[in-house]
Amino acid sequence: MALTPSFSVTQTFASPSVITLTDTSTGTDLTITSRRVRLVKSDGTFLVPTGTTTNYITWSYSFLFKDIDVLDRDYALDIVVEWLAGTTVVYTVSTLYAFTLNSELFYYNLTQYIASNQIQIRNTNYYNYKMIYRVCIDETNNAVDFGADINSAQNALNRAYFLEQNQNIFF
């Protein structure tokens, strides 16, 4: 029986810096001994956990899932998983994914802020920038879901990140 390689990706509220990959492959290939994960950013560089000296993350074939603590902010990433027999890549699956949980959490914090600071309800600039921030998140998801466009997705995330990093000016 042949292996049909596939994987899923999740991120949780409890640890937004961690992405979890789960091997959802079907079938078997007894030659497979390990997996590698490459997290490719929009500029073609690789995102790896601190201390990693390669452009990939190893993923033991004996574990169905792999937690990777790597997100210092939100990214649009091309996630490439390779299944290896020894050192030979046998299967490769690539998926474009938008990690927006940090942005969503910041957006929710803006909502909580307005609930406890009622004076802001009349602050047009606050709402305008909050709306721009929301649009950036939506643009990211649309770029990935509808266009498979990593550059547009990352550009939208960069705009959101700029607003977040300068919240004292915008919010």
Q: Which amino acid does the sequence have at 22?
A: T
pLDDT of 150 reads 98
pLDDT of 154 reads 98
pLDDT classification of 124: cutoffs 50, 70, 90: confident
- Predicted confidence (pLDDT) per residue in 125-158, tens digit: 999 999 999 999 999 999 999 999 999 999 999 9
DSSP 121: G
- Predicted confidence (pLDDT) per residue in 20-30, tens digit: 999 999 999 99
C-alpha distances out from residue 94 to 45, 64, 105, 121, 152, Å: 15, 17, 27, 44, 18
DSSP secondary structure of 69-108: E--SS--EEEEEEEEEETTEEEEEEEEEEE--HHHHHHHH
Q: Is the pLDDT of residue 120 over 80?
A: no
- Predicted confidence (pLDDT) per residue in 66-117, tens digit: 999 999 999 999 999 999 999 999 999 999 999 999 999 999 999 998 888 8
Q: What's the sign of the alpha-carbon dihedral 162, 165, 168, 171?
A: positive
Give the C-alpha separation, 66 to 103, whole Å.
Answer: 23
Reported pTM: 0.92
Burial of 136 (0-12, 13-18, 19+ CB in 10 A): buried
Give the C-alpha separation, 117 to 136, whole Å.
Answer: 24
Q: Is the pLDDT of residue 169 over 80?
A: yes
Tokens of 81: 């998983």
Q: Beta-carbon neighbour count of residue 122 at 10 Å?
A: 8
pLDDT classification of 1: cutoffs 50, 70, 90: low
Judge whether 1 and 51 are in contact, CB under 8 Å. Answer: no
Q: Which residues contact 123 (CB under 8 A, 6 or more apart)?
A: none
